[in-house]
Amino acid sequence: MKQTPFAKLKEKERKARQNLIVNAAERLFSAKPFPKVSMRDIADESGISLSSIYRYFPDQESLFIEALTRGANKIQTRLDKVIKDKGATVEDLAATFVSFLIENDPYFRMMTHFMLDGVLNTASVEKLNRIERVLLNQFNAFFSRLNPEGSHRLTAHAFFAALNGILITYRNYPGRDIEDVHKHMKQLVSVMASMFSLTIASGNTR
């Protein structure tokens, strides 16, 4: 059924309001730990009434997942560009992933929160699993293009874990300013990616 102009306008307004809410949530989740952000905080930050926010999101967890999904879509889009580049290397793929999360620290904070200490309901777990599966499939597809022989599923899992490990381990490196920390992480990522590149080329993957 074709939408009327009025219905289209209402839908546009609804999406705009939803974006305002998610934008406000992203700002707060980047500044404070997830458990410290209340729906009232998000209402105050967005300038939208609490009752209106509940029409879109039943709780802060669903809003958290929505914000994280937005970030995941952005990083997946950036990775797709690398994957479509026939001359791209494993180092390029790793650098793209890490650079995005360095540049977009709120998404990194959100992504690692539930990796480390979060408890989710079943629906949220499934949404996060879908996000992770897309990323792993992207890595797997890239590795399979470099070496069509064998399976690269476990290699993709190890690659994802290694990248996140570097980000988590060195994000708050003591005694160094932020530029030095980022430089150090990128150097480690380059070393790690080179090792994966050799493994993939050798065909010694699973």
Give pLDDT tens digits for 122-177.
888 888 889 999 999 999 999 999 999 888 999 999 999 999 999 999 988 888 89
pLDDT of amino acid 108: 85
Are both 146 and 186 inside the same structural domain? yes
Are both 138 and 191 inside the same structural domain? yes
Are both 171 and 131 inside the same structural domain? yes
More confident residue, 41 or 120: 41
pLDDT of amino acid 176: 87
Six-digit token pair at 7? 């219905």
**Total of domains in the chain:** 2
pLDDT of amino acid 118: 63
* CATH code (residue 45): 1.10.10
* CATH code (residue 114): 1.10.357.10
Are both 47 and 144 inside the same structural domain? no
Last residue of a domain, one of 24, 42, 57: 57
Dist CA 202 CA 30 (whole Å)? 41
The tens digit of pLDDT for each residue in 57-114 reads 998 888 888 988 999 999 999 999 999 999 999 999 999 999 999 998 888 888 877 6
Alpha carbon separation from 12 to 49, 64, 168 (Å, rounded): 19, 22, 38
Give mean pLDDT, residues 4-16: 82
pLDDT of amino acid 155: 95
Are both 46 and 82 inside the same structural domain? no
pLDDT of amino acid 127: 87
Are both 87 and 44 inside the same structural domain? no
More confident residue, 1 or 142: 142
Are both 66 and 168 inside the same structural domain? yes
pLDDT category at 117 given cuts 50, 70, 90 is low
Are both 86 and 42 inside the same structural domain? no
Are both 107 and 64 inside the same structural domain? yes
Give the mean pLDDT of the chain.
89
Amino acid at 110: M
Q: Give residue 28's domain range.
A: 1-57
Report pTM: 0.85
Residue 163 CB partners (closer than 8 Å, separation 6+): 94, 97, 98, 189, 192
Are both 109 and 182 inside the same structural domain? yes
